[in-house]
Amino acid sequence: MAVSVNKGRRVIVSGMGIVSCLGLGTQHVWEQLISGKSGITQIRAEGFEQIPSKVAGLVPWGPSQTEFSDNLVPKIDGRAITKMTKYCLAASEEALTMANWKPESEWDKERTGVCIGTGMIPLEEVVLAGELLHTSNYRKISPWFIPRILVNMAAGHVSIMYGFKGPNHAVSTACTTGLHAVGDATRFIQNGDADVIIAGGCEASVTPLGMAGFSRMRALSTNFNSIPEQASRPFDKDRDGFVMSEGAGILVLEELEHAKKRNAKIYAEVLGYGLSGDANHITAPNEDGDGAKRCMQAALRNANIDFSLVGYINAHATSTPLGDSAESKAILSLFKDHAKQILVSSTKGATGHLLGAAGSMESIFTALAVNKGVAPPTANLKTPMTGCDLNYVSCSEAPWINESSPRIALTNSFGFGGTNATVCFSEYLS
């Protein structure tokens, strides 16, 4: 049976696209994820010599179908595009192809929008322009400098590339960006602002300055520099910080009746969206997970479903001692006795932390989990230490056996400044 939601216009997922350290392509990345593979590698590039953390999740470049190359990017003016936007365009092309949605009519283009954000602007662009200015080389600063660093440029390029004239929206809420983009896009469709929206996040901040900033905060893992594939270990007792990563996760969200009329394949349904603020600390969550709890509660209230129907949670858990424990406490506090029945995993063990793209990529993983009935594992989770007795999925996939249908899951994202988001996904049953 279908779940009864509190919105007249229902929203589904009809396409997905991924660029990640696990490779390119939704199916390929999913297979890597489910098999417990890690995409984290050592950083050997020039400029990182001073950085204590030597590990990152880098998108592989090369000639194979699962590697990135400039051939995947549509021919546009390269002066206006950064690596982050290249990743976004490649993921968008996959998602739109999967959804079979590249409309030609003016009406369809006007009813299609874009909602894509990033957590951090391209810092290397600012560094270069600043150096030129301080060395009296003002005229060498590119006229494209400002367009290259604006937060909404990825969304703008997707809109221009495909001629989408609906809402053109960009989110930038630190590590919650990608999930806020998915949630905001859902509400745009429910509100009637569009019938289809390309939503998600992109990030390419594994640069010397980006790594230096997080390293000075002592936020990054340093204990596994010689064994990078083990560095990202959410919930584990040996976790010592997160691993920076790059890439893009893009979803095609669509109004249900619109999708059915064109016989689109439906991968999952978006049931609810919740937001909250910690009002606690600029970088640290409440130790008891209060903000996370209220956020999940808001998503379930918006979905108008009982807490006992949730069977899986894709946790934000980045592999930091405080954050992983706070989120676990929030799950236990909200779901109480039912918490032990919920499969919980953090896919960041395999992908690292994609900052502004994390939430949208994890939305894809959550949509696939409800679609396929499999909970992806938490790579490197050997000994949980969060103070909470939860049903963590560690090292290998877990079959999602559901006594009642449909399968329902939550995915969480939390960001600096105390900004939180939760999206509720459901298996789609016609």
Amino acid at 213: G
Tokens of 309: 């129907």
Amino acid at 145: F
Strands 374-375 and 398-399: antiparallel
Cis-peptide, bond into residue 406, ω within 30° of zero:
yes
Strands 247-255 and 11-20: antiparallel
What are the backbone angles phi and psi of residue 252, rounded to the nearest 5°? -100, 115
Alpha carbon distances (Å) from 38 to 170, 249, 376: 30, 17, 13
> With contact defined as beta carbons under 8 Å apart, do 421 and 199 qualify?
no
Give the Cα separation of 221 and 242 in Å (integer).
5
**Catalytic member of 169, 180, 258, 316:** 316
**Catalytic member of 157, 180, 258, 353:** 353
Q: Which residue has the tokens 């009864």?
A: 4
DSSP state of 53: -
Within 10 A of 96 (CB to CB), how many other CB atoms are there?
24
Alpha carbon distances (Å) from 82 to 113, 125, 351, 421: 22, 9, 21, 27
* 316 carries an active-site annotation: yes
CA nearest neighbour of 115 among 360, 295, 361: 360
* 169 carries an active-site annotation: no
Amino acid at 404: S
* 258 carries an active-site annotation: no
**Catalytic member of 21, 88, 115, 175:** 175
Which segments within 174-333 are labelled E, that is strand? 196-203, 247-255, 268-277, 310-314
Give the Cα separation of 372 and 159 in Å (integer).
31
Q: What is the largest CA-CA distance in the chain?
A: 69
List Cβ neighbours of 179 (8 Å cut-off, separation of 6 or more): 358, 359, 360, 362, 363, 411, 412, 413, 421, 422, 423
DSSP code string of 130-193: HHHHHTT-GGGS-TTHHHHH-TTHHHHHHHHHHT--S-EE----GGGHHHHHHHHHHHHHHTTS
Active site residues per annotation? 175, 316, 353
